[in-house]
């Protein structure tokens, strides 16, 4: 303890062997990892903090949209992800009562992206690939500190002092800027006292990872399926490992009930009746939020990903939007550190571009997705399915729908570019 106290007292400057002070990034998930890789590629050093001693392997996001793959390709990740992931070249909106299927084919946007498909890959697989790439390709540009959390931070005239601790020491890192990519319960956001407005739904979502070939029992099933039913809607999607089934829950249901294997079995049997029990590999239950922080930055500290916006998972926009944040913010950090841009103006623009995007599109779309999916009014369900069928049957309308739902339109509007690949480089002027 004495050594740790002495280290804290003298400052413990971790500036990666001289030069400009590094950017301290809190959170080694997809957002923090993407930010660190972009900075490293463009010659800016960072210190990447992760509170867990090892990168978690848990069920979180699993869908990477085409524009996200375009961005990640520029930092060397997409090629590695394609070797492990599952390509989704079509996805479906199904009516469980009538059997109608509206199918959207991703090749309609082949002229808009290098990756005209969704990639199904567990979020943690992407994070592990990013971790290895940082260690192997950029060991001198990014220092990874596992099992380390931020305790406090304070701005100085030319940077930010960040107090961190792990099982062995307490020390102070001297940073040029701090990025809070540390999730919905963000310590960084709380330290800079930024509000997180919005609401939490009364019901939670239940996700079951199931080892069963749904593709063999449902006719022409795609790898991603949104299934409407006035009684019990659900989402069925395939990852590179297993099928996932997402069910809504009833407010007031206990955690014990929702985790009960017999209860899960009943729900799966209603989805598809079979003689034997399902092989359920994992069950998770989580609260569902719609929140956006009141600002995406304060001083030299900026927020990205779930630390500043969170939404229900229908449509797979949360993690993808977080990666888009990371690229937007990292470009501005490079401009500030390497090209002398005014960080206040850069951060103001970041806040305008990304916070307005979160409120105007992502929040609106995910809230509407949930309302339509959960409606118990047969007329609403019928109208919804008819709308999907009409769009799927018209190539022009189908393409417009895919561009919107797969976040190509919103990323171009947010960044004010004609094509998302323009975001992969840093504008000097």
pLDDT in tens, 319-371: 999 999 999 999 999 999 999 999 999 999 999 999 887 776 655 666 666 76
Rounded-to-integer distance, Cα 162 and Cα 173, Å: 5
Helix (H), strand (E), coil (C) string for 203-243: EEEEEEEECCCHHHHCCCCCCEEEEECCCCCEEEEECCCCE
Give me the DSSP letters along 9-63: HH-----SSSSSPPEEEE--SHHHHHHHHHHHHTT--EEEEESSSS--------E
Is the pLDDT at 11 greater than 50? The verdict is: no
User: Fold for domain 2-87+122-197+290-375?
Assistant: FAD/NAD(P)-binding domain (3.50.50)
How confident is the prediction for the chain on average, in pLDDT?
Answer: 91
Burial class of residue 10 in the structure, from the number of CB atoms within 10 Å of its CB (0-12 exposed, 13-18 middle, 19+ buried): exposed
Position 6 scores a pLDDT of: 36
Domain locations along the chain:
2-87+122-197+290-375
Predicted model pTM: 0.92
Rounded-to-integer distance, Cα 343 and Cα 44, Å: 15
pLDDT in tens, 361-408: 655 666 666 766 677 777 888 888 999 999 999 999 999 999 999 999
SS3 245: strand
């Amino acid at each position: 303890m004495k050594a740790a106290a002495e280290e804290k007292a003298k400052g413990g400057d971790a500036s990666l062997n001289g030069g400009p002070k590094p950017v301290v990034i809190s959170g080694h998930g997809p957002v923090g990892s993407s930010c660190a890789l972009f900075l490293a590629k463009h010659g800016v050093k960072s210190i990447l903090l992760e509170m867990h001693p090892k990168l978690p392997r848990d069920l979180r996001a699993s869908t990477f949209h085409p524009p996200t793959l375009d961005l990640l390709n520029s930092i060397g990740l997409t090629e590695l992800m394609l070797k492990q992931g599952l390509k989704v070249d079509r996805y479906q909106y199904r009516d469980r009562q009538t059997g109608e299927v509206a199918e959207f084919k991703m090749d309609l946007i082949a002229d808009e992206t290098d990756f005209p498909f969704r990639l199904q890959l567990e979020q943690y697989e992407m994070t592990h690939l990013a971790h290895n790439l940082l260690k192997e390709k950029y060991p001198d540009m990014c220092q990874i500190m596992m099992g380390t959390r931020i305790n406090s931070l304070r701005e100085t005239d030319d940077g930010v002092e960040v107090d961190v601790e792990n099982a062995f020491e307490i020390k102070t890192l001297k940073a040029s800027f701090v990025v809070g990519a540390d999730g919905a319960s963000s310590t960084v956001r709380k330290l800079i006292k930024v509000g997180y407005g919005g609401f939490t739904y009364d019901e939670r979502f239940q996700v079951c990872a199931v080892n069963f070939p749904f593709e063999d029992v449902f006719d022409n099933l795609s790898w991603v399926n949104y299934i409407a039913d006035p009684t019990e809607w659900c989402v069925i999607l395939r990852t590179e490992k297993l099928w996932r089934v997402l069910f809504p829950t009833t407010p007031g249901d206990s955690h014990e009930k929702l985790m009960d294997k017999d209860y899960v079995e009943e729900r799966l049997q209603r989805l598809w009746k079979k003689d034997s029990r399902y092989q359920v590999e994992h069950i998770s239950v989580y609260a569902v939020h719609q929140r956006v922080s009141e600002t995406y930055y304060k001083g030299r500290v900026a927020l990205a990903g779930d630390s500043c916006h969170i939404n229900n998972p229908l449509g797979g926009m949360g993690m993808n939007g977080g990666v888009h944040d990371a690229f937007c913010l990292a470009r501005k950090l490079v401009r500030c550190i390497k090209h002398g841009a005014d960080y206040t103006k850069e951060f103001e623009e970041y806040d305008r571009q990304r916070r307005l995007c979160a409120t105007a599109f992502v929040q609106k779309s995910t809230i509407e997705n949930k309302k339509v999916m959960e409606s118990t009014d047969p007329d609403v369900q019928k109208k919804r399915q008819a709308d999907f069928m009409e769009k799927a049957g018209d190539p022009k309308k189908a393409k417009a729908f895919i561009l919107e739902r797969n976040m190509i339109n919103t990323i171009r509007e947010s960044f004010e570019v004609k094509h998302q690949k323009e975001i992969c480089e840093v504008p000097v002027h």
